[in-house]
A and B are shown apart, each in its own frame.
Chain A
């Protein structure tokens, strides 16, 4: 379970670093962030939702069935798009509206 931080897209705002419940995201010398111990990530996706620059992608470790897909989020108002890019390049988007409760 872990995340990958795109150094190109990271705007060094520090928001993900501030909210990581495991204090795992650290500041590098250039101000951008990195995940200090990838194996200690809980997979809560808080950082993903916090990053407005789309710099953080979420993936499953190979030990729990990951094949290399990356999941990102994009938020507009109440709607969060969860965008999954499969290894073969295809993308799947699931939109969730905050104003709607779960059906289950």
Chain B
């Protein structure tokens, strides 16, 4: 039997990554008397997207640029499907959050005049190897922030349509947790591992996005009936071959252009948007002009050295690869490839449908960072900004939200706990399939029938139908999975979350009958942009059915939910 623990707090922050830590810090600074609890499935010290570090703040308003310039940049890059209100409100805070990081101890490079050194129009250079320990240390400075590490949340608890907490379990011991909260800030990140990855064998987790971000926050919201947006705007990143390390550092830092095997610079043929770049390289390979490279040949030995160091601060595998192969970038161009598709609201628009103040459609639930939709190109500072906005809104709402009887909460928690116990109880008959086998099956279905690497990100409606049917049938098999301990339980729930995200993703892909972001996916039945589809595809789970609908583009004005 699992031990059961019931906790209560004012604000529960689900996920102690970039957005979650900063939401907690913001709430603690503004209201030293309220209780804040961060629940993190690993350890806030090194969890989430920034575990390995990061070497630039890619969302910053540099000298001569404005918040509005950033908005236009995002609008163009995302082919218009963005929320102006969300992008503006986050961009307004980029520079103050960067300055705050510096106060916390982050090293940011300065130019001769003492300003932050720009790397590009929207980027500044940092030493972000320890950015996550810095954020974690700041949370510890506040006596009213409690942190529960190694606890995985799986379910939102609700009362009369309002979110009143969450349930989860420890991945290191046999304890189930129910946390009663007056407000919940969802900051669990996006979803990786839905599709067969670039390196499907031993190095299956050598991927760009954290393989441990499995869409828990999306899945919890979907099941509780929250409205989601733009899942069909998947993200395919252009990365260094094999190591899946970032390419921006080489492109922006060393000024390397992308070329095909014939040595041609091909970007002019496809455009410079994130999607255009990804499509360009993939198409060059498809048409027989691959592989594609970043042209680094001829850079100086000093540049070699600087690149080796820069990568150690965020993607050490790439540095090891350069040294181990003996092929330094000055002598050899760096091959690039596109990743498998991810669902990640920090780079594209996928996630919770929120109002300008980051309230989800479920009262009492707020969203920030990769889990929140409508505001692509958040990067680090945008995730911090959204964490701060969500925290400020939650604090303001705490004053007006009515109190909730704790009774309703215990009953629901026990239902969730019973589900954990079922997965931990021995099964009479041994199941044929284990967790890895079902995960592989899911990734294969998505890869082959829902526009993965295998088909060059192409799909049509017939294929989506096959994917929908097979994903649904897999979900049935997961119910029979059994775990020996919290570690196994974690893996069962991660798989369940991914399958839930897959279902919503497929419904969105089916609805958007056009190809707006060719680098992220090509609907072969509708290979062009359709100007009539300049609107959002949103969805909501109602009585077990995914209801998909459109919403008109939202402008700069304050947007509120209408219930």
In the complex, whether A92 has a CB less than 8 A from a CB of chain B is yes
Q: Are B203 and A101 in contact (CB under 8 A)?
A: no
Contacting pair B324 A104 (CB below 8 A): no
- Residues of A within 8 Å of B308, CB to CB, are 94
Cα-based distance from A49 to B53 in the complex (angstroms): 12
Residue of B107, B108, B242 touching A64 (CB-CB under 8 A): B242
What chain A residues lie within 8 Å of B204 (beta carbons)? 39-40
* B113-127 residues at the A interface, CB under 8 angstroms: 117, 119, 125-127
B460 beta carbon closer than 8 Å to chain A: no
CA separation between A48 and B51, bound complex, in Å? Answer: 12
Contact in complex: B51, A42 (CB < 8 Å)? yes
B363 within 8 A of A: no
Stretch in B206-214, B222-230, B506-514, B533-541 with 4+ CB within 8 Å of A: B206-214
Report the contact-size class of chain A (Cβ under 8 Å from the partner). Answer: 35 or more
Which of A21, A48, A92 sits near B323, CB closer than 8 Å? A92
Q: Which of A18, A43, A99 contacts B206 (CB 8 A)?
A: A43
One digit per residue, 1 when the CB lies within 8 angstroms of any chain B CB and 0 when it does not, for chain A 5-35 equals 0000000000000111111001000000000
Given A58-B316, A61-B206, the answer on whether A104 and B51 have CB atoms closer than 8 Å is: no
Q: Which stretch from B158-166, B248-256, B405-413 is at the chain A interface?
A: B248-256
Q: Which of B420-447 contact A (CB under 8 A)?
A: none
Contact of A44 with B46 at beta-carbon distance under 8 Å, contacts A63-B202, A96-B309, A104-B310 already known? yes
Return chain A residues, CB-CB under 8 Å to B42: 19-23
Cross-chain contact A60 with B320 (CB below 8 angstroms): yes
> Is A71 touching B206 in the complex (CB atoms < 8 A)?
no
How far does the alpha carbon of A66 sit from the alpha carbon of B320 in the complex, in Å?
9
Q: Count A-B pairs with CB separation below 8 Å.
A: 178
Q: Are A1 and B313 in contact (CB under 8 A)?
A: no
Residues on A with beta carbons closer than 8 Å to the beta carbon of B253: 102-104
Q: Which of B243, B312, B487, B490 has the most CB of A within 10 A?
A: B312
* B contact residues around A60 at 8 Å (CB): 203, 243, 317, 320-321, 324
Decide: B319 and A42 in contact? CB cutoff 8 A. Answer: no
Q: Does A43 contact B316, Cβ atoms closer than 8 Å?
A: yes
Residue on B with the closest CB to A62? B202
Chain B residues closer than 8 Å to A103, beta-carbon distance: 125, 253, 306, 309-310
Q: Hey, which chain A residues are within 8 Å of B307, CB to CB? A: 104
Closest chain B residue to A27, Cβ basis: B172
Q: Are A104 and B119 interface neighbours, CB within 8 A?
A: yes
A52 at the interface (CB under 8 A from B): no
Candidates B46, B172, B206, B325; contact of A21 at CB < 8 Å: B46
Q: Taking CB as reference atom, which chain A residue is nearest B213?
A: A21
Q: A44, B108: Cβ atoms under 8 Å?
A: no
With A23-B41, A65-B242, A67-B324 known to touch, is A101 a contact of B206 (CB < 8 Å)?
no
Of B108, B125, B205, B306, the most chain A CB neighbours within 10 A belong to B205
Whether B127 pairs with A102 at a CB distance below 8 angstroms is yes
The answer to whether A96 touches B129, judged by C-beta atoms less than 8 angstroms apart, is yes
Extra pairs beyond A69-B324, A98-B127, A99-B127 (4, CB < 8 Å):
A49-B129, A64-B317, A69-B323, A103-B310
Contacts from A to B (Cβ < 8 Å): 1-2, 18-23, 26, 36, 38-46, 48-50, 58-67, 69, 71, 80, 82, 84, 86, 92, 94, 96, 98-104
10 tightest Cβ-Cβ pairs between the two chains A and B: A104-B253, A101-B109, A1-B206, A44-B52, A64-B242, A103-B306, A61-B203, A46-B46, A61-B202, A44-B51
